[in-house]
Structure formats: C-alpha cells, structure tokens
Amino acid sequence: MALTSRLAGIEPDATARIQQAESAAQEFDIPLADALILYGGFTPELVAREVAAEAGLRYTSDPLASIIPGIDPEAALQVGWRSALRIGALPLYRDGGTLVVLTLRARNRPAANHFAEVFGVDNTEEILTTRAAFIQTVERVFSDQLAREAVDLHVRKRPDESARSVLSRGQILTGIALVGALVFGTATAGFVVVRAVLLFSSLVYVGVIGFRFFASASGNLENIVVDVSPQEAQERTHAELPLYSVLLPLYREPAALPHLLSAIRNLDYPPHKLDVLILLEQDDEQTHRALADLPVPAHWTVLHVPAGYPRTKAKACNYGLHFARGSYCVVYDAEDVPDPDQLKKTVAAFSRTSSVTMCFQSLLRYTRTNTNLLTRLFSMEYHYMFDFMTPGLYAMSLPVPVAGTSNHFNTEKLRALGQWDPYNTTEHIDLGIRIAVESQTVGVLRSTTSEDANGRLWNWIRQRTRRLKGQFHTFLVYNRNPVKTMRNLGIRGWLGFMLFVGGTPLVYLIAPVLWMTVILGLLPQATGILNLITPLVLYLSLTSLMLGNVISVYMLMLGSFHRRQYRLIPYTLLTPVYQILHSVAAWRALWQLLRRPHYWDKTDHDGAGESAP
C-alpha cells in the first residue's frame, strides 16, 4: 500500500494535509516522506513507521534503547561520524553476511554502496528511524570523537593561534623582564619610573580613544552596508535557495526559549531548506525540561553538547557545525529576534559580493533601551559601534571583529578556517582576525536582529568581563609572534588590531590610574606626591583624561544622534560613569584571565523583552 494511503487510513481527516504534502513534494522536488513531515504536519515517527512498513523494513523509534546495547563499535568507527551523517546511515553490527544498518531513508543506495566498499558486504539490512533518533544515535556512538573534534580541531589546525594557553613562553619571559625592569627602576630612580608609567598611560589612553574617533571619521555605514530589497530577497525560488543551517547555542536559558523558538519559526525560509540545530549542554537539565514542554518543529534537531572542558559557546557551535548541512550557517543567541527575511537577504547578498566575502554581519538593534540608565548607556554604545566604529574599521581595511551573534557564514569556508576557537570567550573577535589573515572579508547586511539590552548591573559586568577577557586573550594570542601577525595582517592591520583589540581593554585598565591621579590632586595631604610626579606629568595626565572623556561622550552622542534617539543624548554625559563600570569589568577580566581563562561568565536572559515577537 502506498504511503499516502496508509496515512489516510490512519488519519482519515488528513486528506488535505496529504494533498498539501504531495504538492510540496512535487513542487520542491523533495522526498514525499520529508514533505509529509514538513508540509503535511505528520509526526516523523508516524511517517518513518509507515515508510518502513511500506518497504517491509524494521523500524525503531528509540535506537538508543533497542539497538545500541548490541552495536558493534568497530563497525561504526570504520565508517566514522562524518560519513554516517553524510549518507544518513550508521552500521550497527554484522549478522552473518549481512550488515545491519540504521538508516534515515528506506533503500538507501548511497549507504549500501559505501558499506559495500568499506566492509565488502553485498547485503545490508536496514532499520529505519527518524532523523532525531538517528542524530541522537550518532551522538551517543561517537560522543568522544565529536567532543574531541569540537575542542581540538582548531588547536590542530592552528596551534599557534589557539587560546588554550594564555601566555607563550616568550611572553612570560618578556613579562618577567618588564616587571623586573620596573622594580629595578623604581628602586633606583624612584618617581622617574612612576612619571614614565603615568605618561605612557596618558599617551595610550588618549591615543586609543583618538584612534577610535579617527576610525569613526573614516567609516560610514551607508558606504559599506549591503542593501537587499525585500523584492530581491524573494526573487529566488525555493529550489534556488540553498540549505541554511541555524545554530542556536543555549545554556541555562529556559526563560528565553519560548521567544527564541517563536522568532526562528518566523523566519521566512522554506522549511525543507532550513536546518535548525538547537545546541543544549548535556547537563543543562533546566533547559532540557523547558524544551520538552515546548512545541519544537519536527524537522529541527536538538543536539547535546558533551559536558567537558571548556564549556564555551564556541565549543557548542563547533559541535553543532559537525551536524550542519547548510551551505550557509548563522548563529543566534537566546534573546535574538532576527528579521524574518534575514536568511533570504543573506543568500542574495552572498550571491552579489565577491568570493572573498565569507561572512555577513547583520545589524544589531537593542530593545528595552529605556528600562534604566544601564540599558540606555548600553544601547548608545552599540549605536556608535555599529554605525561608526565597525564601518570605520572596514573602511580602513582593518580586521573587523564580527559580533557574537547574527553572523552568517559560508559553512565550507568556516570549516576550512578552523571553525571557532573553543577556548576563546570572544570567539567572534578571534574569527574576525583570522578572516582578515586569510584575506577574506566581512560584509555588513542591512537586516536587523533585535536583542534585549542588558539592564541588570551585575549581569552586565559579567557579560563585559567575559568580553574584555576574550579581547585580552585574543590580543595575547596574536602577539605570541607579532612579526608573523604583522606579516599576515600588514602593518596597518596589525596596528589596527593592537589599538582596537588590545587598546580597548587597556584603556579601561588605565582609566582608574588617571582618575586616582585626579583624586590625589584634590587631597591637600598629597601635595608632596604630586610634586614628585611633577606638574607637567600631572598636566598631561589630566589633559589626557579630560580629552579622552570629552571625546568618548561625544562619540556616544554621535551614535544616538545618528539614530535620532535624541532623548538618549543627555545620558551621554554619564559616559565617564559607564567607563568606570568598564574599568571594574576590565580588572575583573584581567584577574579571570590569569585564574580562569576559559570560564564562560554566563549572561542571564529573562526572555521577557520587547524584542520577543
């Protein structure tokens, strides 16, 4: 009996759905079984069971319980997880001269051919299962290899650029020499060293802020953003659209889950071309439970990232990339709400730009910006970053750090680049540097992803700590061999990297030093110390602090003004306070870098924001 007849017999009132699925299968040229799930609304279990029955095959809905105990691990390892995922079949054990395989599709000829080649068997006995169950089985059978690969691939490909270690031997020796010189200098020359340090700090402070301003002057979002009209986004037929993988790394996000799933469901992209991968940490019970209570579309895949060191978003994304089938892939965070046509626009953008563009960054828009002072400052900062700073880096042909979310990649190129560095807590900045090293580029797409602005102080500090720690770490990684980095990035690129990636956290470290100088100046008891510093050094320190703060305030004003958020402008006067918060995070980041370099200081999302659809 035909599959559709079987289903009609089981669900008599499903005729319309069956017809819909048949039309979809014909129109999109996809297997009927897939169409029945994606467009007919049938459960994968029902369809797989009936397909198996129609083909006279065995079916299991739970391979882990029914089959795995008897699996021959050697057989599985001979094939490997990559091949298993590619052909949609996994060898289980030999039964005489027959190889018993778990398969996604009935009469899987490519699998049979592959196994004949590998095992030299002519007969295969297929046990059909659903995609979710198949993936789960692969995860279980190859858990060690998958976990290792998610962590080690980058280290293997780029050992010198891995953030697994913090300092290289050369850096440790240099650091010791520097500290020794400072101690010796202070012991012998006293306040001359203090003056020199203050002067250097002032120069760095005003220099980095000046560079940021100069970069902003060079860039204009309008010059670099790629515009794709809604009409152009809809031009391609479903057949012309490539398979697109959406990676959703989640950790302790039960509250944000409903809104995220809703936002992804709203994506305007053919279901049969969408490969959504929900990445949950294996031991994250609360998110597992929350997900179980939500209606997850059947064609989405839930993956279980093995617990183990390090526990970072980058590792989770690397793990997800093992299973990603799309020509393009994108990463979204728990609180993200992308524009529905973002994927289609990205496809159009990639087709328009040169082959050196390997990534498109969508614009980020922060919502709930008026919740409190912190959200206002946060959103002003990002207005400026996205409208001026990032375009400026782009315009000056400097390495562009991609954002941590809403970045769309050419999947093959991402894999060739070594994926994400699982040890880096700002894996996106590291990726931006590597993209520049490979002479690839990052484009900016005019399509928005909304995120909630972080409104809780301690939450914000933890988030910023993690980012600054990652920036420090990235700075150290690419300065293990500065000559090589300079050669790879060019002198201008290297300088831009030093000033932006290294200079940004450095400014926040230096700011308290300069502020302390100001406070000392206010204390009558400190006159003696100030005289040792000398009025000239004090003058230059004060000037740097004042100038740096005025420029910083003005830059945030610029961002808000440009977006016509005039009500935010008065709050820019509190930029020095915001900078002090950054300084707290920077010193905390430095401490964490030395003690817990790979610790992922999790940001909590309450999932109740405006950005939720």
Partner 1 sequence: MNRARIAIFPVIPNRRRFFSLVLILIPVLTAAGYASMHLGYYPVRLLHLAGLARIGTSGSVIQQNEVLPVSPPLSFLLFVLFRNPMVISGVIGAVLIGYLVYYVTSYPHAPLLKTVLVTYILLSPSMLLLVLFELEWTVFLMLGFFANYFVLEFYRQEHSFFLFMCGLCIGAMYLIVPEILLFLPFLIFGLGFIFRRLGRTLIYAAILLFPVLSAALLWPVVEWFISGSLLNPLPRFSRQIPTEYLWTSLRESGLVIVGYLALAALMLRSKNTMFRPAYAILGVPVLLLLNGVLWDRPVPIMVQIPLLMVNVVILYPYLDMMIARKVLRPAVIVLAIVATLSGVHTLMNPPDSFRADVGALIRGDGGNLAEYDRVLQQVGAGEVLLTSDTVHFASLMDDRPDSMIHYRRFAGLAVPPQVRWIIADAPENSFVDLRGFTERYRTDRFRVLERN
The nearest distance, CB 209 to partner 1, in angstroms, is 13
In the complex, least distance from residue 215 CB atom to partner 1, rounded to whole angstroms: 11
Nearer to partner 1, 490 or 521 (CB): 521
Residues 200-227, buried b or exposed e (16+ Cβ, 10 A)?
ebbebbbbbbebbbebbebbbbeebbbe
Tell me how far, at minimum, the Cβ of 223 lies from partner 1, in Å: 5
The dihedral built from the CA positions of residue 324, 325, 327 and 328, taken in this order, carries a sign that is: negative
551 vs 590, beta carbon nearer partner 1: 551
Is the CB of 123 or the CB of 543 nearer to partner 1? 543
Nearer to partner 1, 200 or 309 (CB): 200
DSSP string covering 350-395, please? HHHS-TTEEEEEEEEEEE-TTSSHHHHHHHHHHHHIIIIIHHHHHH
C-alpha span between 387 and 558 (Å, rounded): 9
We find the least distance from the C-beta atom of residue 491 to partner 1, in angstroms, to be 14
If the CB atoms of residues 60 and 216 are measured against partner 1, the closer one turns out to be: 216
List 475's β-bridge partners, or say none. Answer: none
User: By the 8 A CB rule, do 453 and 367 touch?
Assistant: yes
Give the nearer residue to partner 1 in terms of CB position, either 119 or 561.
561
As a whole number of angstroms, the distance between CA 39 and CA 37 comes to 6
Q: Both tokens of residue 128?
A: 């059909």
Closer to partner 1 by Cβ: residue 123 or 223: 223
The residues, any chain, with a CB within 8 Å of residue 86's CB and separated by 6 or more, are none
Residue 127 pairs with which residues in a beta bridge? 58, 102
User: Is the CB of 353 or the CB of 534 nearer to partner 1?
Assistant: 534
Q: What is the DSSP letter of 481?
A: S
Minimal distance in Å, beta carbon 192 to partner 1? 14
Q: Which token pair is 551?
A: 């420029």
As measured in angstroms, the least distance from the Cβ of 380 to partner 1 is 13
Pairing assessment for the beta strands 441-452 and 225-226 based on DSSP bridges:
parallel
Q: How far is the CB of 375 from partner 1 (least distance, A)?
A: 22
**Tokens at 119, concatenated:** 């095992």
- Residue indicated by tokens 């990205």: 346
Report residue 414 as tokens: 């991402």
Q: How far is the CB of 556 from partner 1 (least distance, A)?
A: 11
Residues within the interface to partner 1 (CB under 8 A) = 216-218, 220, 222-223, 388, 518, 521, 534-536, 538-540, 542-543, 546, 550, 553-554, 557-558, 561-562, 566, 569
